[in-house]
Amino acid sequence: MQKRILGTGGLEVSAIGLGCMGMSQSYGQPMETPDAVRLIRSAFERGITFFDTAEVYGPFKNEEVVGEALQPIRDQVVIATKFGIDIAGTTGHEGMDSRPQHICDVVEASLKRLRTDRIDLLYQHRVDPVVPIEEVAGTVKDLISQGKVKHFGLSEAGVRTIRRAHEVQPVAALQSEYSLWWREPEEAILPVLEELGIGFVPFSPLGKGFLTGAIDANTRFDSSDFRNTVPRFAEEARKANQALVDAIAAIAAEKKVTPAQVALAWLLARKPWIVPIPGTTKLSRLEENIGSSAVALTAGDLANIESAVSAIAVQGERYSPQQQARIDR
C-alpha cells in the first residue's frame, strides 16, 4: 500500500488506516478479543500500518486489544490514541477533561494498555471548553520532549483552536468526520490545514456504514448500536438518503468496484495528506476497504461524482443534540 505523510514532522502512515473503535463498542456487540487481534494483524499483513484507538473506547478495552495485537510488530506500525474525555464523570464540564495532570495520567495508563513506550500520535479527543488549548498543547509538548509521545493531534476542533494549538506545538493531524455525506470540513477546515501543513484523518469515511450500500430504510440495528440515536439514521432519513448511495453505486458499477471503494478513493483523491480510517469487524470489509487504495479516479470520474452527489441534500443531523454540543467550532 502507498504511504502518506501527516504533518510536517515526517509521520509516515499507510494511505488507509484502521479505526478500531467498533471492535469494542458502538456498533453492536463487541468482538471477542482473539477475533479482534486476528483482524488487526490481518490488516497489517495486508499493508495497513496506521491504527486508531482511544482510552474511552470500551472504555479501556480497545487500547488493550490494540496493544496485544501490535506488540509483536510495534516498530513497524503507527499507533494513535486519544485523551480528553471525563470517563470517571468527575470534572462536571460537558464530559471533558483536558487538565494537564489528567493528560499525563491518561498517557501513562495508555502506554501500559498499549504495551509500548511511546504513543506515535496523541489526539485531544474533543476540545475542552474550560482548559485553554495552549495549556493542552504545552502539556503534549512536554510529553513529546520526554519521549512518551511523538506527534500531537486534535479531533473535531475548529479553526481558531487549531491555529492556537499549532502555535504552541505543531499539530500533525486533525481527525474529524468527513465523507461524501458530511462535507462541512471543506468550508473552512481543509484550507487552514493546507496552509499550516497539517494532515487530515477522516473518521466515519463511509458514513458509519451507510455509504457501503449495505444499509437501507428497512435495516434494523442491534439494540446496543449507537446509530439508533443518530437522526441521520432514522428510518425516514435513511429512505431519503438512499439517493446518495444509489448515485455512488451507479458510478461504482461503471468502475467495476464497490460503493465503499468509490467513497474511500474519493477521499484519497481530495488531497495527498488525507488518510481515512474506516473501521470494520469483518475481514471481507477490511479487504474491500484496502482495495480502495488501488482505485484510480480520473478527473472525469471526480466530476461525475461531484455532479451526482451535489444535487442531493442529505437528511438528518449527524449527531444527537447532546453529542453535537461536544464539537468545537
Residues 36-72 have pLDDT tens digits of: 999 999 999 999 999 999 999 999 999 999 999 999 9
Please calculate the CA angle 26-136-50 and round it to the nearest 5 degrees.
Answer: 45
Q: Rounded CA gap, 166 and 241, in Å? A: 37
Per DSSP, the chain holds a count of helices (H) and strands (E) of 11, 9
**Longest Cα separation, the chain:** 54
Reply yes or no on domain 3-324 having CATH 3.40.470.10.
no
Are 175 and 155 within 8 A, CB to CB?
A: yes
The position carrying cell 484550507 is 191
Mean pLDDT of the chain: 96
| The pLDDT of residue 7 | 98
Q: How far is CA 245 from CA 67, 132, 179, 263, 293, in A?
A: 36, 41, 12, 10, 20
Residues 148-193 have pLDDT tens digits of: 999 999 999 999 999 999 999 999 999 999 999 999 999 999 999 9
**SS3 (DSSP) at 289:** helix
In the chain, where the domains are located: 3-324
* Torsion sign over Cα 50, 4, 16, 234: positive
Is residue 178 annotated as part of the catalytic site, yes or no?
A: no
| The pLDDT of residue 319 | 84
List the grid coordinates of 248. Answer: 455512488
| The pLDDT of residue 175 | 98
Residue 108 amino acid letter: E
The pLDDT-based confidence of 329 (bands split at 50, 70, 90) is: low
Residues 183, 184, 188, 190, Cα dihedral to 10°: -30
Q: Rounded CA gap, 327 and 185, in Å? A: 13
Residues 184-234 have pLDDT tens digits of: 999 999 999 999 999 999 999 999 999 999 999 999 999 999 999 999 999
Phi, psi values for residue 152, rounded to 5°: -110, 135
Mean pLDDT in residue range 132-157: 98
Which H helix or E strand runs over 202?
strand 199-203
Which H helix or E strand runs over 306?
helix 299-310
Q: Rounded CA gap, 257 and 239, in Å? A: 24
The one catalytic residue among 27, 57, 123, 178: 57
| The pLDDT of residue 266 | 98
Residues 252-268 have pLDDT tens digits of: 999 999 999 999 999 99
Where are the strands (E) in 29-148, listed by range?
Answer: 50-52, 78-83, 119-124
Q: What percent of the chain has pLDDT over 90?
A: 95
Q: Rounded CA gap, 137 and 131, in Å? A: 11
| The pLDDT of residue 292 | 98
List the grid coordinates of 318. Answer: 449527524
List the grid coordinates of 233. Answer: 439514521
**DSSP assigned state of 115:** T
**SS3 (DSSP) at 188:** coil
